[in-house]
Amino acid sequence: MRDFLLYYGMFAVYYVIAINSLYFVIMMFSFKNIIGILKSSIYSRFQALSGSEQVPPISILVPAYNEELTIIENVRSLLSLNYPRYEVIVVNDGSKDDTLQVLTREFKLEESGHMPIQPLLQTSDIRGIYHNPAYPNLYLIDKENGGKADSLNAGINLAHYPLIASIDADSLLEKDALIRIAKVYMENPEETVAIGGDIRIANGCKIEDGVVSDIRLPDKFLPMMQSVEYLKAFLGGRIGWSAINGLIIVSGAFGVFRKDYVIKVGGYREGYPGEDMNIIIKLHKYMLENKLPYRVAFCPDAVCWTQAPDSFRILGSQRRRWGRGNLKNMIEYGQHMVLRPKYKIFGMLTLPFNILFETLNPYFRITGLLALIGYTLMNMTNANVLLLYGLLNIIYGVLLGVGALLLEEIAFRRYPRIRDIVKMLFYTILMFFGYRQIGVIWRFLGHIEYLRNNNSWGTMTRKSWQADGNKNISSLEARG
């Protein structure tokens, strides 16, 4: 028994070495590309594009379910973007709060009985479309509850432009975010099917009229942890994956897509807790099976600020949903695409990596740790094996976190104060003492929920963007 526990524990040690070594390789791709991205950002004339007729128009889709506390600032933010031609389509997904009322009251929207809507994708019943000529590029769809994917499909049916952008209702775009991401599209419009933006945590920032006017790190523990976590995931991972056209996800909080290809793959799929990953997998699959040249890009300087959960209950719900979504996508698409050469980088590298090091990660880490604890208890003279496992996790994780901070400092510097850098470095180390382990358990619990056929979108809580938002807490119900 001791030998079995030791051998399995050593397997877990090698697994940790393998997964982190691969993360380092991906990060090296990020470093390789960050200089080019930086030069492009500094020397490009993207600001001049904000007045150019050559820039493609975009339809911004905003699914909204019980968003009465954040939707006004969200829409104000979107209406003030530096972009020549675009429209904002808010889709009220059968909200049970006053989302519809606050929107119609704030922007004096009135129901339009003759607004054309194309039935390109099937959706839940539309109850009405609202518009006000004083805000010519703002539309509001009121529909029966059908989930986030259903809302995005309803927005596509009304969208008038060839590019669509999906934005979460609790998120705020920087004024130049859309023009920056459009510039990436204009570099290769024929082949670009999707572009992801960079997501940052807005907790702690000062918000005025829907704009982040003063960037600050969160004061609370959980949002601060997520700030560091997002930095590592987006700058340390997605730049590298996009460089080899192996990106598997464009965050649902902010992404731009070619509408024609989204329609060709059947639109967003309902009943998927990971609908943002699902649409990217379907785009990869369609383009590769039809032998069409394409790319799924990432634009790290197009920034979207979003609210992060600040309680273990809500964060746990979000992470279990992510676990369910990832497992569901891997089971349904993995068996058809993994290690099949016709799916190129995506089938030969992205999906095997995701299955081995993301989907199965909780099992190997939890069981490996338990095996080493069991072995140590049976043979107290070799406790150093357990110590080695712990140190490898911490050292590798800290190095990856520091790498992401370096990328941030080299290229973007959204946090100019030295004390902010020190704080992020401190939390990069701190997350390996409990936070990471809880995250692994949440993903494991998400898998259990999937096996119990729980496909709901989950429970989220919104707070007002106002400074005294703590007084305005709204608990939302399961969606979709």
Give the tens place of pLDDT for each residue, 94-108: 999 999 999 999 999
| pLDDT band per the 50, 70, 90 thresholds, residue 470 | very low
Per-residue pLDDT tens for 436-451?
A: 889 999 999 999 999 9
Instruction: Give the residue-averaged pLDDT of 255-275.
Output: 91
Q: What is the pLDDT of residue 479?
A: 44
Q: What is the pLDDT of residue 229?
A: 92
Comparison of pLDDT for 463 and 326, the residue scoring more: 326
Per-residue pLDDT tens for 158-209?
A: 999 999 999 998 889 999 999 999 999 999 999 999 999 999 999 989 888 7
Q: What is the pLDDT of residue 44?
A: 63
Q: What is the pLDDT of residue 461?
A: 64
Amino acid at the residue 61: L
Instruction: Give the residue-averaged pLDDT of 79-98.
Output: 94
Highest-pLDDT range among 254-258, 268-272, 372-376, 422-426 = 254-258
Using the predicted structure, report yes or no on whether residue 471 has a pLDDT greater than 70: no
Using the predicted structure, report yes or no on whether residue 476 has a pLDDT greater than 50: no
| pLDDT band per the 50, 70, 90 thresholds, residue 469 | very low
| pLDDT band per the 50, 70, 90 thresholds, residue 457 | low
Q: How many CA atoms does the CB half-sphere of 162 hold within 13 Å?
A: 9
Residues of the chain with pLDDT > 70, as a percent, come to 91
Distance between CA atoms of 179 and 303, rounded to whole angstroms?
11
Q: Report the 3 state secondary structure along the chain.
A: CHHHHHHHHHHHHHHHHHHHHHHHHHHHHHHHHHHHHHHHHHHCCHHHHCCCCCCCCEEEEEEECCCCCCHHHHHHHHHCCCCCCEEEEEEEECCCCCHHHHHHHHHCCEECCCCCCCCCCCCCCEEEEEEECCEEEEEEEEECCCCHHHHHHHHHHHCCCCEEEEECCCEEECCCHHHHHHHHHHHCCCCEEEEEEEEEECCCCEEECCEEEECCCCCCHHHHHHHHHHHHHHHHHHHHHHHCCCCCCCCCCEEEEEHHHHHHCCCCCCCCCCHHHHHHHHHHHHHHHCCCCCEEEEEEEEEEEECCCCCHHHHHHHHHHHHHHHHHHHHHHHHHHCCCHHHHHHHHHHHHHHHHHHHCHHHHHHHHHHHHHHHHHHCHHHCHHHHHHHHHHHHHHHHHHHHHHHHHHHHCCCCCCHHHHHHHHHHHHHCCCCHHHHHHHHHHHHHHHHHCCCCCCCCCEEECCCCCHHHCEEECCCCC
Tokens of 100: 């519809």
Comparison of pLDDT for 107 and 374, the residue scoring more: 107
Q: What is the pLDDT of residue 478?
A: 38
* Phi, psi (deg, nearest 5) at residue 311: -135, 150
Tokens of 372: 């080493």
| pLDDT band per the 50, 70, 90 thresholds, residue 460 | low
Instruction: Give the residue-averaged pLDDT of 57-86.
Output: 93
| pLDDT band per the 50, 70, 90 thresholds, residue 418 | confident
Instruction: Give the residue-averaged pLDDT of 305-316.
Output: 92
Comparison of pLDDT for 119 and 193, the residue scoring more: 193
Distance between CA atoms of 174 and 213, rounded to whole angstroms?
10
Record the pTM: 0.89
Using the predicted structure, report yes or no on whether residue 453 has a pLDDT greater than 50: yes
In this structure, of 90-104, 144-158, 207-221, the range with the lowest mean pLDDT score is: 207-221
| pLDDT band per the 50, 70, 90 thresholds, residue 341 | very high
Sign of the dihedral through C-alpha 210, 100, 462, 326 = negative
Q: What is the pLDDT of residue 78?
A: 94
| pLDDT band per the 50, 70, 90 thresholds, residue 49 | low
Q: 11-25: b or e for each residue (b if 16 or more CB lie within 10 Å)? A: ebbebbeebbeebee
Q: What is the pLDDT of residue 390?
A: 80
Instruction: Give the residue-averaged pLDDT of 321-350.
Output: 93
